[in-house]
Chain A
Amino acid sequence: MVLLELVNIYKYYGKITALEDINLEVGKGELLTILGPSGSGKSTLLKIIGGFEEPSRGKIYINGKLMNGVPPYARPTSMVFQDLALFPHLNVFNNIAYGLKIKKAPSNEIKKKVREVAELLHIEELLDRRVTQLSGGQQQRVALARSLILEPEILLLDEPLGPLDVKLRKEMQLELRRIQKRLNSTWIYVTHDHEEAMVMSDRVAILNSGRIIDVGVVKEIYEKPKNRFIAEFLGEVNIIECIVDHVEGSAFTASSGDLRIEGLTAGKLEKGDRVNILVRPEKIGITVTPLNDRKNSVSGKVVEIIYKGAYSDVKIETEDSRVFIARTFEPAYRVGERVFLKWDREDAVVIKE
């Protein structure tokens, strides 16, 4: 069931186009991530949904009702701000209870609901504190509680985990996801961090220069990116520019200098087409023993090993000065060592130029 529908949204600031022809549907109970580099217009889009900005053109529907011109307080949305915007003059309890007090809810109901939401977020001990006395993670929880208590149809989150350190961030990502699933509520989550998007979301909408360039399930977009920008934005990727030599059904061969590549394609290719072959680092096998099969394979020297915790990225330079990155969970390689890389033709993604 479609809960939120954006139709042909445009936003101009003077001559600058912040958003261009945005069309988006969000279903009930879904967590959609809006992913984009800074300045891509993702916060503007969130503000338009929340009612803090009006679109220059286009329509917003929530539950089928037109929302254009409806002020934030009359929309069934609630926003967790990037800087959280907890009211500094109120304590934790009164921050969380703010929305219910405005609605003039009876005070025993307010107490009950605050207690419930505080338990959900594990902040029941903090209710008497001043918000300025809380740690970053605790403040996140209070901000979330303040919005959740109103049971909004749509919860909007504007990079709320930005200022947290990596470890706390990872914890909060999982916890947010758990809460969202448990409440079965609809969330729209803005972030510039693709790893966060992968952990958090059902679907992701990728925004670049004010346009949605792709929407879909994260895993699919990651593995079958539509274009080079998306592929590069979603993490490390090896890109080989080459020319198609031979096509047979869905299989083809291509070459780039000495390199011979086999691949599969769903689209139409012809001999002589220029294509980009994309291979994710984790799809590349790495070995020290020479390989017989020269297809989908390169050899080179290790120039750098980048430790990333559980795994390492190995940077390899070939004799004709190409650079490849392969991912390994057993960093048994040394810089300067000669290694061989290989990938399966199913793992290479083809993008026509």
Chain B
Amino acid sequence: MSLIKLFLKIFTSTVILLLIYLPIALVILFSFNDSIYFIFPFKNFTFKWYERLLEDPLFLKSIINSIIIALAVSAGSLSIGIPASFAFVRLRRNTLYVGFIMIPFIMPWLVIGVSSLVFFHTLGIPLSILTTVLSHIIYSIPLVVLIVAARLISLNPNYEKASMDLGANEVQTFTYVTFPLIYPAISVSALITFLWSFDNFIITFFTIGSEITFPIWVWGSLRHPTNVPVITAASSIVILVGSLIVYLMETYRVKKGIGIYAII
């Protein structure tokens, strides 16, 4: 038994360290290497790739665009998804309804991307940040519904009944009881849709047209070898900031007991 346990322990730590963290660690390490090649031996320590990165107008623009898109997607999908999750809780055994809301969620992103492309093209709508936002929201709606509805389902229905019993009408009950209790799930879904949208490449690829977002910038830069060290620097920044956000969010999520499915 202890042998199995030992084996599993070593296996788990090896996978986490070598498979998940080593590539990341190397990216961060080589972002300080004074060479345009990502090869041993390590040359001199330098900040120049970071300097060059911050001078790159395209990179800055891509980050700003990605933030604008992610904010719009987050706001849009929350305002559509939160009311829908209330209906979803009551209709969750209705296959037709559940299927309607969830099919965008289970489709490969490629499908959302190409159908948006064809749709906008057919209507003569030029591709832009706006079209990207519109197609990102398609996937974000079910994402929000899943997170908020999971919270609503786990909520004791007697809380609302007790509130009504103590004299609060429907609106007051929502304001003072239901909303405070689902608030953590709403904030988590806001953050998750933001991060997802910021990070999405596949749907963006079809709908962004000639604009740029951060993943599109990475995609473009990957094709130019001279840009390699600059990408390592950009990646390091995104990794550190992103990890911090995810860490804070996950700690909050575990503390508030929001379903672990939320992350998916």
Contact = CB atoms under 8 A, between A and B. Distances in A.
Q: Do the two chains touch directly in the complex (Cβ atoms below 8 Å apart)?
A: yes
Interface of A: 50-52, 71-73, 77-79, 81, 83, 85, 87-89, 98-99, 102-103, 146-147, 150
Contacts of B180: 89
Nearest to B166: A99
A99 B158 contact: no
Contacts of A150: 166-167
Contact of B164 (A71, A83, A146): A71
B156 A72 contact: no
A166 B136 CA distance: 57
A133 to B, nearest CB: 16
9 contacts: A52-B161, A52-B164, A72-B164, A77-B165, A78-B166, A79-B161, A85-B161, A99-B166, A147-B165
Interface stretch (B78-86, B104-112, B127-135, B169-177): B169-177
B168 interface: yes
Nearest to A47: B161
B63 interface: no
By size class, the interface of chain B is: 10 to 19
B159 interface: yes
Contacts of B159: 85, 87
Contact of A81 (B158, B168, B176, B177): B158
Contacts of A99: 166-168
Contact of B162 (A51, A81, A89): A81
A56 to B, nearest CB: 20
Contacts of B164: 52, 71-73
B167 A102 contact: yes
A146 B163 CA distance: 10
Nearest to B184: A89
Nearest to A103: B167
A104 B113 CA distance: 52
B68 interface: no
Contacts of A87: 159, 162-163, 177, 181
A150 B165 CA distance: 10
Contacts of A102: 166-168, 172, 176
A155 B92 CA distance: 34
Q: Which of B156, B167, B172 has the most CB of A within 10 A?
A: B167
A146 B166 contact: yes
A83 B156 CA distance: 9
A147 B166 contact: yes
A79 B166 CA distance: 8
Given A51-B165, A102-B172, A146-B162, 8 more contacts: A79-B161, A79-B165, A81-B162, A85-B159, A87-B163, A87-B177, A99-B167, A147-B165
A51 B156 CA distance: 18
Contacts of B168: 73, 98-99, 102
A71 B164 CA distance: 8
Contacts of A79: 161-162, 165
Contacts of A77: 165
A83 B159 CA distance: 10
A89 B176 CA distance: 10
B34 to A, nearest CB: 54
Nearest to B173: A73
